[in-house]
Structure 1
Amino acid sequence: MSATLSPEKKSFLKYWAIGISIIYILIAILVVYIVQGEKSFSNKNHALRMDPNAVEPGKTPPDPLPKNTDFKTVNVGIYLDGIENLSILDSYWTPTFYIWFRWKGDKSLNPGKYFRLVDGKIEKQDLQDSYSAPDGTNYELYKVVAKVSKFFNTTRVPLDDHMLNIYIEDSTNDVRKMRYVADSSSGISSRVKIPGYNITGMSTVVKPHTYKTSYGDPRVAEGARTTFSEYNYGVTIKRNNIGVFLKLFVGLYAGVLLTICSFYIHPSDTGSRFALPSASYFGVIANAYMTTSLLPPSGYFGLADLVTSIGLFTITLCVIASLISVYCFLQKNEKEFSRQVDKVSRRYITVGFIAVNILLPVCAFY
Structure 2
Amino acid sequence: MPPAQKRRLLLGWAVLIAVIYGAIGMVAVSVIGGEKVASQESHRLRMTPGLAERGQTPPDPIPETGDFVPVTIGLYLDGVDTISIRDSFWTPTFYVWFRWNGDRALNPGGHFRLVDGSITRKDLQDEYYGADGTNYQRYRVTARMTKFFNTTRVPRDGHQLNLYVEDSRFDASRLRYVADRATGISSRVRVPGYSVSREAEHVAKTHTYRTGYGDPRVDGNGRRTFSMYTYGVNIQRDGMGVYFKVFIGLFAGMALCFASFGLRASDAGPRFSMVAGSYFGAVANSYLAGSLIPSSGQFGLVEFVTFLGLFTIFFSLIATIASIYVWNIRGDKDLSRAFDRVTVAVAGLGYVAVNIALPLSA
For normalisation by structure 1, the TM-score amounts to: 0.96
* Residue in 2 that maps onto 1:313: 311
State the match for 1:251 in structure 2: 249
Aligned to 2:331: 333
Query: Who is 1:288 aligned against?
Result: 286
Distance 1:356 1:103 in 2: 56
Matched-pair contact (CA < 8 Å) for 1:129–1:140: yes
How much has 1:54 moved relative to structure 2? Answer: 1.8
Q: Return the match for 1:241 from 239, 244, 247.
A: 239
Match of 2:124 in 1: 127
Question: How much identity, in percent, do the aligned residues show?
Answer: 51
**1:176 is matched with which residue?**
173
Superposition deviation, residue 7 in structure 1: 2.2
Q: Secondary structure at the match of 1:147?
A: strand
Partner of 1:40: 37
Q: Identify the residue that residue 202 of structure 2 maps to in structure 1.
A: 204
CA distance in 1, matches of 2:230, 2:180: 11
Count residues in correspondence. Answer: 361
Question: Which secondary structure state, in structure 1, belongs to the residue aligned with residue 38 of structure 2?
Answer: helix
Give ranges in structure 2 of 5+ residues lacking alignment.
Answer: none
Is the CA contact 1:267–1:326 (under 8 Å) kept in the aligned structure 2? yes
The alpha carbon displacement at 1:176 in A equals: 0.8
Secondary structure in 2 matching 1:12: helix
> 1:101-116 residue pairs with structure 2 within 5 A?
101-116=98-113
Q: Compare 79-88 and 352-361 and name the one that shifted more.
A: 352-361
Unmatched tracts of structure 1, length 5 or more = none
SS of residue in 1 equivalent to 2:232: strand
Q: Distance between the aligned counterparts of 2:116 and 2:327, measured in 1?
A: 65
SS at match of 2:188: coil
In 2, distance between residues paired with 1:165 and 1:219?
A: 32
Partner of 1:96: 93
1:221 to 1:75, Cα distance in 2 relative to 1, 3 A:
closer
Q: SS of 1:298's equivalent?
A: coil
Aligned to 1:153: 150
- Preserved contact between residue 50 and residue 206 of structure 2 (Cα < 8 Å): no
Counterpart position of 1:343: 341
**Alignment partner of 1:274 is 2:272:** yes
- Once the two structures are TM-superposed, the CA of residue 340 in structure 1 deviates from its matched residue by 0.8
Q: CA deviation at 1:69?
A: 2.1
Distance 2:65 2:299 in 1: 50
2:229 paired residue number: 231
Please tell me the residue identity of whatever aligns with 1:26.
Answer: A
Letter in 1 for 2:141: V
Deviations 1:28-59 (A, max 9, x none): 22222111111111111111110113221111
Amino acid at match of 2:275: P
CA distance in 1, matches of 2:184, 2:107: 23
Determine the C-alpha separation between the residues in 1 that align with 2:272 and 2:2. Answer: 26
Counterpart AA for 1:175: A
Distance 1:226 1:208 in 2: 10
Structure 2 letter corresponding to 1:36: G
Determine if contact 2:74/2:183 at 8 Å carries over to the other structure: yes
Deviates more, 1:115-124 or 1:196-205: 196-205
Larger mean CA deviation between 150-159 and 257-266 belongs to 257-266
Shift of 1:214: 2.1
8 Å CA contact 1:116, 1:170 repeated in 2:
yes
Aligned to 1:18: 15
Q: Secondary structure at the match of 2:200?
A: strand
Q: Output the CA distance in 1 between the equivalents of 2:96 and 2:216.
A: 35
Aligned-pair CA distance for 1:359: 1.2
User: Which secondary structure does the structure 1 equivalent of 2:286 belong to?
Assistant: helix
Matching of residue 299 in structure 1 with residue 297 in structure 2: yes
8 Å contact 1:214–1:222 — kept in the other structure? Answer: no
Q: What is the match of residue 60 of structure 2?
A: 63
How far apart are residue 300 of structure 1 and its match?
A: 1.0
- The farther-off stretch of 250-259 and 28-37 is 28-37
Q: Aligned AA for 2:348?
A: T
How far apart are the structure 2 equivalents of 1:220 and 1:35?
45
Q: Is the 8 A contact 1:5 1:337 kept in 2?
A: no
RMSD: 1.3
Question: Counterparts of 2:336 and 2:167 in 1: how far apart (Å)?
Answer: 75
Q: Which amino acid aligns with 1:268?
A: S
Alpha-carbon distance in 2 for matches of 1:73, 1:216: 26
**Consecutive aligned runs of 4 or more in structure 1 exceeding 4 Å deviation:** 218-223
Task: Tell me the alpha carbon deviations over residues 58-80 of structure 1, each in whole angstroms, 9 at most, x when there is no partner.
Answer: 11111111454210000000000
